[in-house]
Homo-oligomer: A and B are copies of this chain.
């Protein structure tokens, strides 16, 4: 099969690229390298079934030309940093909502009808039910990031209804693992390498978070790809567990062999729009037969070990 991967030079995208090539598929990566890394495609570039197109999703003509001949789209490209939503509100709109629309229109122009989409648990805003199921009460958005992903899901669903597309949206908790290059585990590691003596933590450290290991995440996406039905479907993706920020701090410092002095900014939230608790009910996908292999702690430790072995990735930000 010929896959088209947007954001294929990023953390999750490039990991899927290596997997698909290993499974003897053909892969076209489309990425503008605004946050992706050429280094993540070093292995892929050695493979004859791999093609890289450097381009922007908002450039519809270039996107259509690159997409021609592919059979399914994995759409990972996004502005993924929820924290900076209020500084640059247009970023989420353009890079998420409008870019997803452009992907859908390019699919329509090139006759591709299958799409898998990386959505987010942030879409539930501040949920009233934990763990939060896919059919939770209609949420109120608390971040521009969540709002933009909600808009993307709505567009994909409407294309399934109106144009016969087959779409699956995966609402992720935070994803961890090799090639993880943003988010607070990354920030903690980077700051501890700069200054191993102290670590300042936004909020009170008790914010609850749930994570999934990148290979477990991709297992799930590929598993659902084999079962996907016509129309639009949504699946939560996460482990059946959560931690506090303080747990991750302990595992990070232990893995790094450090004992920094911790200080706290205080308050229940780390930043404006931060959801104090994202914990997803994954009964739907588990009932179909998927389950994650790694715990959150194992995911955190693998992430830190990869960052320590790949310091160039820390330097780039």
Interface set of A (CB-CB < 8 Å, partner B): 85-86, 89-90, 93, 97-98, 101, 104-105, 124-125, 134-144, 146-148, 150-151, 153-155, 157-159, 161-163, 232, 234, 272-273
Contact = CB atoms under 8 A, between A and B. Distances in A.
A139 B136 CA distance: 9
Contacts of A143: 158, 161-162
B162 A273 contact: yes
Contacts of A155: 93, 141, 144, 147, 151
Contacts of A98: 93, 98
Given A135-B138, A147-B154, A101 B105 contact: no
A36 to B, nearest CB: 25
Nearest to A136: B138
Contact of A158 (B104, B136, B147, B157): B147
A144 B158 contact: yes
Given A135-B138, A141-B157, A142-B161, 13 more contacts: A89-B101, A89-B105, A89-B159, A90-B105, A93-B97, A135-B137, A137-B137, A138-B139, A141-B161, A143-B158, A144-B155, A148-B151, A151-B151
